[in-house]
């Protein structure tokens, strides 16, 4: 019995060591800063065998629970993955965005960074990749795929994309921050018209950052009605690669994904999976259920280098 227990312990230890050995941080020079990502190579695979590029939600990072769970599940199912950290203008950023840093970034800034990572993958011999994003990053990878139409992208996984058309209603903004969203938007719009788009608005509530310093341009970009990054479903007719949308039945942030996406579902180009009992961040076992749907979808795609 002792020998068996020792054997099990050694096997678990070896598996842990193997898992650690497969994880590698990749850095990339981008303009004047360094980008970073966590690369996981499945046992017996090469990077050139294809990769799933995974992108975190707004101002989060590649170490958040849903991203780590996704990479672990992909690894177990013999899929390589690259979980990137968007920089938001911060050199070699790790962890959630530091709200003490003045906010100057736009949602569209992610497009250039995705260009950089896709070009890096191509330089490593990768000819096929799947882009997977959570929350607003799902919108970003969708729009990227539509706008770039790059043959290196063979599929998309959109985890609870934003379909409401606006990140926060004036009512929700008022409830959360006790401030008038309309007044702040009007102020930002006036500053932009006066040539002060890059000027900071101090003590301004933005996203997950209360009392932050944010440029008029960045605030208006994020909260304006009609920003294309808040209406993922309107881009589904334009996407040319197989796309899986994963919704959560108890999503407190995006409650209408099923209603907005269902008209486009044909189970060939556009598919929809709903995780029962899950919220926007797929806590606990809901993460496993969501990632299982993603892995099943990815496994059916052609990820060969031919």
Read off the CATH number of the domain in which 84 is found.
Answer: 3.40.50.1820
Residues in the chain: 306
Taking residues 130-136, what's their average pLDDT?
A: 97
Q: Does the pLDDT at position 127 exceed 80?
A: yes
Calpha distance 300→127 (Å, rounded): 17
Give the model's pLDDT for residue 303: 66
Residue with tokens 């556009």: 270
66 located within any domain:
yes
Using the predicted structure, report yes or no on whether residue 16 has a pLDDT greater than 80.
Answer: no
pLDDT in tens, 155-194: 999 999 999 887 778 888 999 999 999 999 999 999 999 9
- Lowest average pLDDT, out of 161-165, 212-216, 259-263, goes to 161-165
Check pLDDT > 90 for residue 214: yes
Alpha-carbon distance of 107 to 111, in angstroms, equals: 8
CA-to-CA distance for 123 and 139, rounded, in angstroms? 26
pLDDT at 15: 40
DSSP label of 48: G
Over residues 87-125, the pLDDT tens digits come to 999 999 999 999 999 999 999 999 999 999 999 999 999
For helices 65-76 and 285-299, angle between their N-to-C axes, nearest 10 degrees: 50
Average pLDDT value for the chain: 90
- Structural domain containing residue 68: 23-165+226-299
Q: Confidence class of residue 5 from pLDDT cuts 50, 70 and 90?
A: very low
Residue 7 reports pLDDT greater than 90: no
260 assigned to some structural domain: yes
Number of structural domains in the chain = 1
* pLDDT reported for residue 178: 94
212 in any annotated domain = no
Angle at 196 between CA 195 and CA 201, to 5 degrees: 160
State mean pLDDT over 25-44: 96
Note whether residue 208 is domain-resident: no
180 within domain boundaries: no
Helices (H) and strands (E) in the chain, counts: 9, 10
99 and 212 Cβ atoms separated by less than 8 Å:
yes
CA atoms of 306 and 303, how far apart (whole Å)? 9
3 part of a folded domain:
no
Task: Kindly state whether residue 138 falls inside one of the protein's structural domains.
Answer: yes
pTM check: above 0.85: yes
67 within 8 A of 134, measured Cβ to Cβ: yes
Would you say residue 216 lies in a domain?
no
């Amino acid at each position: 019995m002792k020998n068996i227990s020792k054997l099990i312990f050694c096997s678990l230890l070896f598996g842990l060591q193997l898992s650690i050995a497969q994880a590698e941080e990749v850095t990339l020079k981008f303009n004047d800063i360094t980008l970073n990502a966590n690369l996981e190579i499945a046992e017996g695979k090469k990077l050139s065998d294809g990769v799933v590029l995974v992108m975190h939600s707004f101002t989060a990072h590649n170490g958040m629970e849903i991203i780590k769970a996704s990479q672990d599940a992909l690894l177990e199912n013999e899929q390589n993955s690259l979980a990137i950290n968007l920089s938001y203008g911060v050199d070699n950023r790790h962890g959630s965005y530091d709200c003490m840093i003045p906010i100057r970034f736009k949602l569209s800034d992610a497009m250039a960074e995705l260009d950089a990572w896709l070009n890096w993958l191509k330089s490593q011999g990768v000819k096929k990749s799947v882009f997977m994003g959570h929350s607003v990053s799902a919108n970003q990878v969708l729009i990227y795929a539509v706008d770039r139409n790059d043959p290196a992208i063979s599929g998309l996984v959109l985890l609870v994309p934003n379909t409401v058309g606006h990140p926060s209603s004036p009512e929700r903004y008022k409830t959360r921050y006790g401030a008038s969203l309309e007044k702040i938007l009007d102020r930002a719009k006036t500053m932009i018209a006066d040539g002060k788009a890059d000027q900071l608005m101090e003590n301004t509530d933005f996203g997950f950052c209360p009392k932050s310093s944010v440029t008029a341009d960045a605030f208006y970009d994020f909260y304006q009605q009609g920003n294309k990054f808040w209406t993922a479903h309107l881009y589904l007719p334009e996407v040319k690669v197989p796309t899986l949308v994963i919704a959560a039945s108890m999503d407190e942030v995006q409650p209408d994904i099923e209603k907005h996406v269902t008209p486009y579902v044909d189970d060939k180009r556009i598919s929809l999976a709903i995780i029962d009992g899950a919220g926007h961040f797929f806590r606990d076992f809901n993460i496993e259920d969501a990632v299982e749907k993603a892995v099943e979808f990815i496994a059916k795609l052609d990820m060969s280098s031919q």
